[in-house]
Every structure is written in structure tokens, then in C-alpha cells.
Amino acid sequence: MALVVSSSSDDDHDHDEQQQGPSLVLCFPPPPSCSREGRACLPRPESREGGREEGGAWPGRSSASPASSSSSAAGKMANVGLSFEGSAGASDPQSRPVLILGRLPNLQRLPWTHLRGKLQPRVSEEVWQAALSTLNPNPTDSCPLYLNYATVAALPSRVTRHNSPSAAQFLTRLIRNCLPGGANRCILMVCERSEVFASACAIARAFPLFTRRSSVSRRIEKRTVIVEFFLVGQNNGPVELEMLKCLESATEGVRLAARIVDTPCNEMNTDSFLEEIKKVGKDLGIVPTIFRNAELKEKGFGGIYGVGKAAVHPPALAVLSHTPEGATQTIAWVGKGIVYDTGGLSIKGKTTMPGMKRDCGGAAAVLGAFKATIKQGFKDNLHAVFCLAENSVGPNATRPDDIHVLYSGKTVEVNNTDAEGRLVLADGVAYARKDLGADIILDMATLTGAQGIATGKYHAAVLTNNEEWERACVKAGRNCGDLVHPLVYCPELHFTEFTSAVADMKNSVADRDNSPSSCAGLFIASHIGFDWPGIWVHIDIAAPVHAGERATGYGVALLLSLFGRAFRRPSAEPGVSLGLQWRFPRGRHGERLQETALGLGLAPFGDGTLGLPHFALMSF
């Protein structure tokens, strides 16, 4: 028998569009006159009435133009509810479309007994096996199983050492391209236990919350996607309820961060961002500390005030503080929240200014991660510091040659008003050290365009005063899918780029060819002090904060991987970690070492703490 199906590789099209691949005739067995060999064909699916579909085209696949496909994809992915469940249950794919995802070897280990309830009566075991035989991921591939109601998609069979084993970026793209439409849909993710957290966050990125499409706003029906994991390999038992709850909170954080970054400044100004912070605080029972406008100037926050003073909506420093009893260490996350960056008087061009609504990506990630972390029961002091401003143009705007006194007490000669992120973050990290007494300070920012050149579109850049934390960030990025790669940390060679004749430093480098992303991070560190004995980590997320025209929610998973936990298996033996074993400094001065586990899904150690990066004493 013969039929026409649509088959295409995910790599051939943009992740924001759902384009249709070429039609292929697959025959099984091949007739004598057929020249196509080596590819089995799937039986033609039957309609609900039992008859065969008429015509040669695969319904819903080849008739739509690229433009209409893009519009359809955008509509079906936006503002959708995600639900992680231990079992999605059985359902006819014509009433609940299904997408089955995983690496091909893992898909081949998926037993039909587990799968048939989601595919029958439309898809038989013979069709399923034939579909698997047609998959040839290079790097990905997909095959429809029944009309446009059921699809199987294969992730890369292997990845290189600087990628995540979960192939998270490919996973998001496959979902955007292959998930069938419908009000109620199902994703069955086939993976190893160590890949669950990264896969869940990658799935969340495919479903943005923000949209102003009129067609979506008129939609009455509520759309839901149920996500079920089938685990293969070691520790392949069922997914525990505790893990599912963790995935829910983590993915909520990812989608919250992406929504804030996607929202334009006419809606997401500094006032609006403060409301988002207050809302999270209310959910967690925390009242934020807020300094605004003239109060910033009075208290010495010259960086934040100087950047945002020309805008209609005044700048702010906001802090959410979690201070439970028994805490033994203090951690501060500092986020850059430039709600729009015109460049100031050093104004950007017409081609470089669009997209600058994303300059608040660091603060958005800190907010999403803080919410998820505290909901999971964090047991040490954690402060989320938000440096909010709009870098605008006006009579009160900072001018090149102006000198500001920052919260550290150091003076800065402004030679580039478009290098504003480091100014607001310098105030934030100085406040974290002086007022919050932080032992560990991590700042996250869409700081430099050079980051995308240094480490690319998918890997954020990490700069830190501690080599073990550098390795920890890279490993955590691979575990969670928010990839990270190190920058050169060498202040004795690079900080002279900021030399000023009239102030302690300038805010922009003299030589743009001398590791500008490293230099930008060092400017921030200088306001803590290069001799400060604590841990400082800088994450530049300028490129991975978005993919195409959509925000990714980058940073939430990374912070959770570094400082939190996704889940632990109640049945695991004490001292047995499902993550990767490392040794890290513990304490402000790094005076003693303690074995810790980096990664997610970690079991408790014998001392009663969890196998987390508790070099930061992050016990739950």
C-alpha cells in the first residue's frame, strides 16, 4: 500500500514558524515498480467513520502556506496552560492530539503497552514500529502517525561536550514545529531521569504567555497541554509527585520571566515591573523593600538614579528578602532591569534599538527563579535585588562626561551612556555587600552585545572570582539546559581599560577589542572590591535571553540548578546522589571543603542535608 506523508527536519526552518516539508511516498512492501527502498511506509490512517481519507495530500500538512502556518503556530502555542502529570491517561488522539518525543534509542525502548492508550484506535503497533524505522535524526526528525493528530519526533542521538545531554534547544524547536493543534493536547517525553528537569524547562519555553494577537484574545476555549514523562535507563521508576510539583514551579518561573521580557515597555515600565515584584512577594508572604526616584539619589544610588532619571517612570531599587530561622549563609541575586534601552544620549541606531525591551532579562530571570526557589522551601537567606530603570532621552538625561558617585562610594566618569547596565548593577552588588551582608553575590544581566560573539547565541557567559564556581556554572548549565561558558577573569590585565583622568574610573572601555564582555563584568566586580573574600559570579545573558523574536526565560533554570533543587527521590539511600559529585568551597572565606552534588534530583546525605550545592548551604 502507498500513501503520501509530510516529512521534514526541524533544522530546516525557523523555530517561530511551522513550515511544511516535502511530501514523500512511502511504500510497504515496495511494489515492483517502486524505486524507493529501505524506508517502510505507514498505513494510510482512517477517518473517524472508518473510511479512508480521500486525496493524495496529508491533511493539515501540505495545504497551508508558510505565512498561515506561522500564524497558526503562534496562535496555538501562546497563552496555553501546562500541566505535568504522572500519567496523562488514555485518549483517542483525534480527541486529544499527542506528540511523542525523545532520542531515537529511547523511543525504541518505549513499550507499546504504555503507548497504546494514547494512540489506539487510530495507530496500531505496526504503524508505530514503521514510524520509528523511518526516523533518521540529523540532527532531528519527525514523522506523523495519524493525520495531524499524532506525531513522533526524534532528538539528536548524541550531543557534544558543550551541549546539554537533554538537547534542550532542539526539544523546544521540535515542540513548536510538531505539536498538533487543539484545545487539549498531550506531550509524552521519553528521557532519562537526569534529563527531566532540563526537558521540562525546554518544554515550557515553547509556550509563551505574552501575546497581543487579536485572534488569541478572542479565543474563548481554554487550551491545556498535559506533559507526561516516561523514564528509561537507570532510576527509571515513576515520576514522583514531589518532582512534578517542582517541575510545575520551575516552569512557572521560566514562563513568568519570558512573559516579562516579551512585554513591550509601553506595558512593562518600571511601575509595571514593581507590580510584578509585589505580586510575587504577596504570593510568598514577603513585602518588598523599594527605593524610588529622589530617594535613590539621597541614599547614594548614583548609578540607578543617573540611568533612569530622564524617563517618565522613575527608576527603582527593589529587594525581595527571604530570611528563615536557622539560616547560616546569605546569598544575593542581583538582576539588571532596564525596561527599555534607547542608549541614552549615546543613542542606538534604528536597527539596533528594536528588541531593547529585552534588556530587563536578568531581573526577570531573578524574579522567576526566586519565586520557584522559595516555593520549594529554601532554608537560607536569599535576597533578590532588582535594579530597575528606563534608559531614556530627555532634558534630565545623563550626558557623556558627567560624573556620578555610585553606592560603593566610587566615582564614575560616563563616557558612554549606552553602557548603562553596569552602572545599575554596580549599585545593586554594592548594596548586597554593604547592607545585606551577602556571602555570595550573583548578578545576571543582558549586559554586552559582545557576549554573543564571545560565547554564541545559546551559551551565556560566566565571569567569576572563583574557579570552582566557574566549573559549577558550566556543569549546572549542561544539567538544566541553560548553557554557560567561561569568560577570561584577569582584572590585573583588563581593568586598566576604565582608567579616567578625573574620576575613579570610566564606564566604558578604551579598547573594544580587549575582551569587552570580561571588562564589563569587571566594572561590576570593582564596586564590591577585587579583594572581597566572598563569592562573586556574573552571568551575561544578552544572546540566550531570546530565540528569534521570543524570550526564552533563560536564567531561571540555571539559578535553580546552582542554588536549588528540582526534586529528590524519597526511596534513595542517604549519601547516594543522582547528580554529579564535586567539591566546592564553603563559607565566606572558603575555609573548609564539603562534598556536594551538583545537579538536580539529588538524594539526602547522611548529615540530613540534601545533595545540593550546599557550598552555599542551600539546604531544604
- The per-residue pLDDT for range 194-211, each reduced to its tens digit, is 999 999 999 999 999 999
- The per-residue pLDDT of the chain, averaged, comes to 83
Q: Report the catalytic residues.
A: 348, 422
- What is the rounded distance in angstroms from the CA atom of residue 617 to the CA atom of residue 381? 10
The answer to whether residue 232 scores a pLDDT higher than 60 is yes
The residues near 206 (Cβ < 8 Å, ≥ 6 apart) are 77, 172, 175, 176, 179
Q: What is the pLDDT of residue 564?
A: 73
Contact 293, 314 (CB under 8 A): yes
- What is the rounded distance in angstroms from the CA atom of residue 331 to the CA atom of residue 373? 12
Q: What is the pLDDT of residue 550?
A: 97
- Rounded average pLDDT over 490-497: 97
- Rounded average pLDDT over 302-325: 98
The answer to whether residue 156 scores a pLDDT higher than 90 is yes
Could you tell me which of 148, 206, 207 has the C-alpha nearest to residue 180?
148
Could you tell me which of 173, 130, 170 has the C-alpha nearest to residue 39?
130
Q: Does 251-561 match 8-24+58-239 at the fold level?
A: no
Band (274; pLDDT cuts 50, 70, 90): very high
The answer to whether residue 2 scores a pLDDT higher than 80 is no
- Rounded average pLDDT over 501-514: 97
Contact 448, 540 (CB under 8 A): yes
Contact 284, 375 (CB under 8 A): yes
SS3 annotation, 549-612: CEECCCCHHHHHHHHCCCCCCCCCCCCCCCCEEEEEEECCCCCEEEEEEECCCCCECCCCCECC
- Class level of CATH domain 251-561: alpha beta
Q: What is the pLDDT of residue 220?
A: 67
Cα-based distances in Å from 36 to 29, 33, 137, 171, 317: 10, 9, 19, 30, 65
Cα-based distances in Å from 527 to 84, 208, 295: 43, 36, 21
Q: What is the pLDDT of residue 399?
A: 98
The answer to whether residue 469 scores a pLDDT higher than 50 is yes
Would you list the DSSP string of 339-408?
Answer: EEE--TTSPPPTTTSTTGGGGGHHHHHHHHHHHHHHHTT--SEEEEEEEEEEE--STTPPPTT-EEE-TT
The answer to whether residue 34 scores a pLDDT higher than 80 is no
Q: Which residues of 208-223 are buried (b: 16+ CB within 10 A; e: fewer)?
A: bbbbeeeeeeeeeeeb
Dihedral angle at the C-alpha atoms of 286, 289, 292, 297, nearest 10 degrees? -170
- The per-residue pLDDT for range 517-567, each reduced to its tens digit, is 999 999 999 999 999 999 999 999 999 999 999 999 999 999 999 997 433
Strand, helix or coil for residue 425: helix
Q: Where are the domains of the chain?
A: 8-24+58-239, 251-561, 580-616
- What is the rounded distance in angstroms from the CA atom of residue 424 to the CA atom of residue 270? 14
Which residues on neighbouring strands pair with residue 83, listed in sequence order?
226
- Rounded average pLDDT over 554-582: 55
- Rounded average pLDDT over 465-487: 97
- What is the rounded distance in angstroms from the CA atom of residue 591 to the CA atom of residue 612? 19
The answer to whether residue 577 scores a pLDDT higher than 60 is no
Would you list the DSSP string of 50-96?
Answer: SPBPPSSSPTTTSSS-HHHHHHHHHHHHTT-EEEE-S------TTTS
**Which of 11-15, 55-59, 605-609 has the largest mean confidence?**
11-15
- Rounded average pLDDT over 146-151: 95
Three cell numbers at 467? 574557579
The answer to whether residue 620 scores a pLDDT higher than 60 is no
Does residue 136 come out as left (phi exceeding 0), alpha (psi in the -120 to 50 range) or beta?
A: beta
The answer to whether residue 466 scores a pLDDT higher than 60 is yes
Across 6-20, 490-504, 551-565, least confident range? 6-20
* CATH code, 8-24+58-239: 3.40.50.10590
Strand, helix or coil for residue 495: helix
Report which secondary-structure segment, H or E, holds 7: none
- What is the rounded distance in angstroms from the CA atom of residue 164 to the CA atom of residue 200? 13
The answer to whether residue 488 scores a pLDDT higher than 90 is yes
- Rounded average pLDDT over 265-271: 98
Say how many C-beta atoms besides its own lie within 10 A of residue 545's C-beta: 28
Band (591; pLDDT cuts 50, 70, 90): very low
Asked, as a colleague might, if the bond just before 139 is cis with ω within 30 of 0, I would say: yes
Band (571; pLDDT cuts 50, 70, 90): very low
Q: What is the pLDDT of residue 23?
A: 35
Q: What is the pLDDT of residue 237?
A: 82
Across 17-21, 373-377, 456-460, 547-551, least confident range? 17-21
Q: What is the pLDDT of residue 210?
A: 95
Q: What is the pLDDT of residue 215?
A: 80
Three cell numbers at 82? 501546562
The answer to whether residue 14 scores a pLDDT higher than 80 is no
- What is the rounded distance in angstroms from the CA atom of residue 508 to the CA atom of residue 501? 14
Band (581; pLDDT cuts 50, 70, 90): very low
- What is the rounded distance in angstroms from the CA atom of residue 583 to the CA atom of residue 481? 22
Three cell numbers at 251? 516552569
Q: What is the pLDDT of residue 235?
A: 82
Q: What is the pLDDT of residue 55?
A: 30
The residues near 198 (Cβ < 8 Å, ≥ 6 apart) are 164, 165, 166, 168, 479, 480, 481, 557
Q: What is the pLDDT of residue 66?
A: 33
Asked, as a colleague might, if the bond just before 400 is cis with ω within 30 of 0, I would say: no
Contact 324, 378 (CB under 8 A): yes
Across 4-13, 88-97, 405-414, 480-489, least confident range? 4-13
Band (73; pLDDT cuts 50, 70, 90): low
Identity of the residue numbered 129:
Q
